[in-house]
Structure 1
Amino acid sequence: MADLTEPVRLRAARPDEADALSGLTMRSKAYWGYNAAFLADCRDELRLRPDEVVARRTMVAERDGTVHGMATLDGDPPDGELGLLFVEPDAIGRGVGRMLYRHVMAEAARLGFAQVRIESDPHAEGFYLAMGAQRQGTNHAMPVMMAWPVRPEPSWSVAWSAGAPTVHVGNVAEFNGQFTSGVRGPDHYSCLAAFCGQRPAIIVLPQQVDDWWGRDVGAVLGWGDVEVHGGIAGDGRVSEAILNRPDLVARLTSQGSPVLPWGRTAAFDAIAPSPGGVLAAISRYESKRHSHELFRALACDHPGIVVPAQRPAGSRRALAGELAGGTKVVLKREYGVGGSGTLIVSAETKGLRALARRWADGVLVEEYVEGSDLYRNPTFDAVIDSDGEVHPVGVGLMDVDGTSYRGVTVGRGVLPEPLVDTAVGFGVAVGRALAKERYRGWYDVDFVTDRSGRLAPVEINLRLTGPAVAFHIQAALDRLRGGHHLVRTLDCVPLGARLPAGALRVHVDRVAQQCRELDATLLVTIPTAAFDPVPYLGVAIAARTSQALAEAETTVRDASTALGEMFVDLPLSPRAAHGARRRRARLRRPSR
């Protein structure tokens, strides 16, 4: 028996191995319990002849000199076929099939194949679906699927992670707190930091997370083994908590891996110093006032951009008088995230005098940009590398309710190409200006679209953001499964009931299976909020078509709401009913 501690390696098969490989295919087929007559009928179809070994691009997976599996890539570009993929029975379930499949898809990409057809044994259908193939129909009761060549890791991802395993730190509350009255406890949004890299080695989160979450997400995104340190900072002060554990500091900084926080702070610099000038640039351009000044300076070179007027609010009396005039405006505090510190005010807004008293000090009044709901809130993300080069990530369409961010959709066709081109052109110009100010790292530019289709930039975020999660998930699935994925994040999916951890996982597994049946993938991105008094989950849904994406979203929302149906007929006292209504009203707004 081969030493299972030895690594598996792939190599091209030799013509003199044809008979041995044909025997392997028959043993693998017999593993599923087929009778002798059926296997005899399959023999000729599964036979590999010596003159076919090279022509069919045959690869073998070998450990310690013993062949454990084989695969062929048949046909000529653009359409190919996974002719054979078989694994020795004692190696099934040990990752050999996954390795062969991924190699075939990578080779298909290198050779210029657009798609790869798979005619699967019924017992292997689940494997291929899990690897990203999609059902196309059947052929004589054999499932027929289509797979797509994998795509290389994008340049922006390499720039972000240096092409290496990364350490992720969810210091969301700490980053936000540096611009407000301080850190106010941990933020569920910190869980999103786990997704912002293709190969996380270590993840540090303020709140405790269940082991199944990291394992399940990692299995889908190809993370491998990940070390998770959860529950380290109940007060949200992640950097302080890390520094109080010298062993953890050493663990994070001795791996030779980039240490990537959600956002850079002075406190985090004591763990992993940022390049000179980064903190100053963050302080300057997280400001709504300074970002607006930059927008005005750049807009003249971008005809598709319109910058809304902005000015200080002035006195409380002046602000109250202006608001009473009925003109729709946007009030902005100089700093704020995820819509916090931003308020749309119109003639219908109640309590204008009280509002003016609360908002006058240091507030900016910005022109409200009228527009349609279609393509209303685009966002552009990019990375500035250590040399100051800007690497565009992509443009997504945010779901924004008033000023509250709820999620994003990214992928081909989400936005019209002219809007994408305008957002990229202006977003890159912003990045180059930030690079001159010595900023390095992730940033985004958020827009609203006016009635004529022009983009109005409204803020810069110099940190990771909710859309960054969608782009990273998209890149991971494109790299592992091939093709082009659409990804939609839903940062707050209300749960009809608060479940114990075990029951929550059962619910997630059941809904994930329902999504797979729709050719979609479900990932839980924010698990910790499921245990709040008003429980919810953050999720990401991926699919290759907008129809599958929409159907999966409906499935997720309906199944999550239905959790409360078991309690519909339970009698509630008036006091308990009042408490339930108050808890529903306190549903927290994500931070983006």
Structure 2
Amino acid sequence: MGRRLYRDVLRRAAGLGFRRLLIDADPHAAGFYRAMGAVDSSSESESGSGPGSEPEPGAAADGRLVRFEVAPVPLAGWARAWTGGGAAVHVGNVAEYNAQFADASLDREQRAAHHYACLAAFYSPRPAALVLPRPVPPGWISLLGRQLDWPAGVEVYDGLAERDPGLSQAVRARPALAARLTGTGAPLVPWGLTAPFARLARRPWRPDELRYESKSAAHGLFGRILAEGGHPAITLPAQWRADTRWAAVRLLASRTRAGESTVLKSEHGVGGSGTTVLTPERVRAAGGARAAVRALPRGPLLVEEYVRGPADPAEPRDLTYDGFVDAGGRVHEVGGAVMDVADGGYRGATVGPGVVPGWAEEPLLAFGRAVGTELSAAGYRGWFDVDFVADGAGRLAPTETNLRLTGPSVAFVVAARLDELRGAGHFVRIADRVELGARLPEAAFGELCERLSRRCAAMGAVFLPAIPTGAFEPAPWMGALVAATGRELLDAAERVVRAEALAVGAMFAQADGAQPAGSVARAPSRADAEPDPDACAGTDAATDAGSRSSSKTLSGGRET
């Protein structure tokens, strides 16, 4: 009840135009305000306790109050424009989107894509329903709903396409479900546009909209924008298309002899798949250019000049711009983020005030806006990003566009929601893989997430399990979102999450590395179980006026 009252105060204050709220709290209530996102601004002499410490017994009786500050803000304008300010139906068609490009670098089984479909929970600030290919743990949505203050009764339809990328087609094959999802009046938000999704959402399908998902087409677009002038801090790396392996070998060998590092890319790829950085040392270690190319995915390759990064490893190297084009063709700017990329592979991203270095912010935003204008003119409607690498000389090199949602876009959505609920200034980090020490029983994994939520809240941070289904793989992991109102606190919260995840897994790991008793290979399908309203994936654990919210789950093709 306190949580609801507090959030109502912030909403009303923001609506009235207040931008600063001071709270003089009883020290025994300090933990509550800290968990709600208020920032402790008391000095040690004023409060009798340092930030993060527990009050002494009887402190309240001495009248020593703890001062907190919070900055109430309404939901960001871009977030209201994204879904019209209302709830939306989120369709986790990640595998479906990837499969339409038939690229050899993409996971043919789409196992990873089905895991990343769990990010559908965060496609917009307020989901009305989630449509997912794989079953998800029952308590997952309840935990997210409490943290993000979702309306009671978020409906979850999971287990629809466990072994097939065609999620939209799986929905259309169930006419009652399709009618329910499309008949609410809420917009349908996918990971990315596909022909089956267009049929489901009853929108025109123009495959040419997605032409700049191609890395070579995006490179050509960047060149045309730069040819018009106006972006002096942007540099474009040279790129050559190698239609045969022999052509790629010759180009790589020539650059290696010249002492140059080279980036080899497939035409399409996600999360860095299909992108390989080859230094001269790596080429020689592989046994030469021919051997190095032989190990790469089949299909045409793009050979690209390698952009050397900043000499200081603490300086951000990989940056991204996010925006979207609305149905009317207007480009909305979301912002810039810093990505965590290792050896060409994406591992996560951080968004928040000041994460993009000052020297890079304006060039990044200006070029991102220019790309968005071109995408709009080409007929594209939806979310997009532009990825950059910093060259160490005060310039940014654009490397690709993504015409879909991504990990950074999810972080932006969560940051906007938390700013609205907890006050402005949130940093949000999405970590693609938080390793678990062992596969956990489903109940133990739920307990881990609840415990991490409490531990982070006590620090003034937020923990959200973003990808729970990876926890039931043979090599278990989970995707996670952490948020805080300071960079140091954000780093500390991530350390807590990673350490606790490994420690809990170690409790279940056996000395010989065998699967612990009671563990499961994945979240089990509930299609054959008797319906239990308290165990439904879509049931909100919170009660309102003594009645439980109604919700639905669809698992293995049967509605319960």
Q: TM-score range by the shorter chain?
A: 0.7 to 0.9
Partner residue in 2 for 1:117: 23
Amino acid at match of 1:366: E
Q: 2: CA distance between counterparts of 1:164 and 1:109?
A: 17
- Is the alpha carbon distance of 1:286 and 1:546 closer, same or farther for their aligned partners in structure 2, counting shifts above 3 Å? same
2:531 matched to which residue of 1?
none
Q: What is the aligned counterpart of 1:331 among 250, 255, 264?
A: 264
1:30-429 paired onto structure 2 within 5 Å: 93=1, 98-99=4-5, 101-104=7-10, 106-107=12-13, 110-120=16-26, 122=28, 124-136=29-41, 138=47, 141-142=59-60, 144-180=66-102, 184-186=109-111, 187-225=114-152, 226-235=154-163, 236-275=165-204, 277=206, 279-282=207-210, 284-299=211-226, 300-325=229-254, 326=256, 327-349=260-282, 350-351=286-287, 352-357=289-294, 358=296, 361-372=299-310, 373=313, 374-429=315-370
Where does 1:499-510 land on structure 2 (aligned, <5 Å)?
Answer: 499-510=440-451
Query: Does the CA contact (< 8 Å) of 1:120 and 1:145 recur in 2?
Result: no
Higher relative contact order (CA 8 A, sep 6+): 2
1:211 match: secondary structure:
coil
User: 1:516-555, aligned counterparts within 5 Å?
Assistant: 516-555=457-496
Partners of 1:498 and 1:145 in 2: CA distance: 43
Q: Residue 201 of structure 2: SS of its match in structure 1?
A: coil
Match of 1:452 in 2: 393
State the secondary structure of the residue aligned to 2:449: helix
Query: Does the residue aligned with 2:102 lie in a helix, a strand or coil?
Result: coil
For residue 270 of structure 1, give the secondary structure of its aligned residue in structure 2: helix
SS at 1:424 equivalent: helix
Q: Is the CA contact (8 Å cut-off) linking 1:151 and 1:479 kept in structure 2?
A: yes
Q: Kindly state the Cα deviation for residue 274 of structure 1 after the two structures are TM-superposed.
A: 3.5
Check whether the contact 1:381–1:393 (CA below 8 A) recurs between aligned residues.
yes
SS for the counterpart of 2:425 is coil
Give the deviation of 1:481 after TM superposition: 0.9
How much has 1:310 moved relative to structure 2? 0.6
Counterpart Cα distance in 2 of 1:309 and 1:545: 39
- Give per-residue Cα distances to partners, 1:148-200, cap 9 Å, x unaligned: 13211222112210112100000001101111258624421000121011111
Contact kept, 8 Å, 1:171 with 1:190, in 2: the verdict is: yes
Q: Which residue of 2 aligns with 1:82?
A: none
- Paired with 1:242 and 1:146, the residues of 2 have a C-alpha distance of 48
Conserved? CA contact 1:329–1:368, under 8 Å: yes
> Which stretches in structure 2 are left out of the alignment for 5+ residues?
49-57, 516-520, 522-560
Q: Which amino acid aligns with 1:184?
A: E
For 1:445 and 1:417, locate their aligned partners in 2 and report how far apart those are by CA, in whole Å: 18
Partner of 1:572: 512
Post-superposition CA distance 1:41-70 (Å, at most 9, x none): xxxxxxxxxxxxxxxxxxxxxxxxxxxxxx
Aligned-pair CA distance for 1:336: 1.1
User: What TM-score comes out, normalization by structure 1 length?
Assistant: 0.77
CA drift of 1:449 comes to 0.5
Q: 1:159 to 1:99 in 2, by over 3 A?
A: same
Counterpart residue identity of residue 261, structure 1: P
Whole-Å separation in 2 of the counterparts to 1:469 and 1:462: 14
Q: Distance in 1 between matches of 2:200 and 2:422?
A: 36
Distance in 2 (CA, whole Å) between partners of 1:212 and 1:147 is 32
Does the 8 Å contact 1:105/1:482 carry over to 2?
no
Report the Cα offset of residue 268 of structure 1.
1.1
2: CA distance between counterparts of 1:456 and 1:526?
A: 31
Counterpart-to-counterpart distance in 2, 1:560 and 1:213:
16
How far apart, in 1, do the equivalents of 2:504 and 2:74 lie? 40
- Partner AA of 2:109 in structure 1: R
Query: Contact 1:109 / 1:149 at 8 angstroms: preserved in 2?
Result: no
Contact 1:323-1:346 at 8 Å conserved across structures: no
Give the Cα–Cα distance (whole angstroms) in 2 for the partners of residues 180 and 147 of structure 1: 52
Find the aligned partners of 1:100 and 1:448 in 2 and give their Cα distance. 42
Aligned residue-pair number: 478
Q: Distance in 2 between matches of 1:188 and 1:494?
A: 15
Q: Distance in 1 between matches of 2:410 and 2:120?
A: 8
Aligned residue number for residue 501 of structure 2: 560
Does the CA contact (< 8 Å) of 1:132 and 1:147 recur in 2? no
Q: What corresponds to 1:46 in structure 2?
A: none
Which whole-Å deviations, capped at 9, do the CAs of 1:129-154 have from their partners, x for residues lacking one?
A: 44322445646723624141321122
Contact 1:155 1:391 survives alignment (8 Å):
no
**Does structure 2 retain, via aligned residues, the 8 Å contact 1:117–1:145?**
yes
Q: Which residue of 2 aligns with 1:14?
A: none
Cα distance change on mapping 1:567 and 1:268 into 2, 3 Å: closer
Structure 1 runs not aligned, ≥5 long: 1-92, 578-582, 584-592
Q: Which amino acid aligns with 1:317?
A: W
1:281 aligned partner, one-letter code: E
Query: How many Å separate the matches in 1 of 2:298 and 2:26?
Result: 66
How big is the shift at 1:485?
Answer: 0.3
Change (3 A) 1:224 1:313: same
8 Å CA contact retained: 1:493, 1:560:
yes
CA distance 1:158–1:276, change in 2 (3 Å)? farther
* Superposed CA RMSD: 2.3
Q: Aligned partners of 1:111 and 1:566: how far apart in 2?
A: 50
Task: Please tell me the residue identity of whatever aligns with 2:274.
Answer: G
8 Å contact kept, 2:353–2:427 = yes
Cα distance in 1 for partners of 2:158, 2:381 equals 27
Corresponding residue SS for 2:276: strand
* Residue aligned with 2:231, SS: coil
Deviation for aligned residue 1:101: 4.6
Identical aligned residues as a percent: 44
| 8 Å contact kept, 1:324–1:347 | no
Alignment correspondent of 1:22: none
Q: Counterpart of 2:71 in 1: which secondary structure?
A: coil
TM-score relative to the length of structure 2: 0.81
In structure 2, the CA distance between the partners of 1:318 and 1:525, relative to structure 1 (3 Å rule), is same
The Cα of 1:323 is off from its aligned counterpart by: 2.3
Task: Note closer, same or farther for the CA distance 1:303–1:244 as it changes in structure 2 (3 Å cut).
Answer: same
Offset, 1:521:
0.8
